[in-house]
Amino acid sequence: GAVVSQHPSWVICKSGTSVKIECRSLDFQATTMFWYRQFPKQSLMLMATSNEGSKATYEQGVEKDKFLINHASLTLSTLTVTSAHPEDSSFYICSATLGQSRVWDTEAFFGQGTRLTVV
């Protein structure tokens, strides 16, 4: 399957600082990427949909000014957690789809995830 690379795998930051997480599709172009958040022992919750060249679409309850998403190219989306606080500590996972032209191309491929710890 297609490969999605996420970086960094883990990060520890001080409260009040900002952290950037990168999500890259390595061997395909992804017009759409998704960002999920997973708290310990819980399921994945969609945070936002990232579309290349346009503003991200955020799910209800997700602060767009706190979780900045930029999808500058067809292979890269970034999530910046601004002014991070301990409650932002979580596992963040991105996914990307090949496209929408064929049914099987809509399968989502997931990055390795980033464990963020805010101290």
Report how far residue 71's alpha carbon sits from residue 22's, in angstroms, rounded to the nearest whole number.
Answer: 10
Report how far residue 47's alpha carbon sits from residue 60's, in angstroms, rounded to the nearest whole number.
Answer: 8
Cβ at position 43, least distance to another protein in Å: 5
Cα separation values, 93 from 32, 102, 103, Å: 14, 24, 23
Report how far residue 44's alpha carbon sits from residue 93's, in angstroms, rounded to the nearest whole number.
Answer: 8
Position among 58, 69, 111, 118 found at the interface with another protein (CB under 8 A): 111
Asked if 89 is part of the footprint of another protein (rule: CB under 8 A), the reply reads: no
Cβ at position 32, least distance to another protein in Å: 5
Task: Dig out the tokens for 105 from the structure.
Answer: 């191309």
Cβ at position 21, least distance to another protein in Å: 13
In this chain, which stretch among 17-25, 71-79, 82-90, 109-117 interacts with another protein, using CB under 8 A? 109-117
Asked if 42 is part of the footprint of another protein (rule: CB under 8 A), the reply reads: yes
Residue 108 contacts residue 1 (beta carbons within 8 Å): no
Question: Which residues form the interface with another protein (CB under 8 A)?
Answer: 1, 6, 32, 34, 42-46, 49, 51, 57, 93, 95-97, 100, 103-104, 106-113, 115
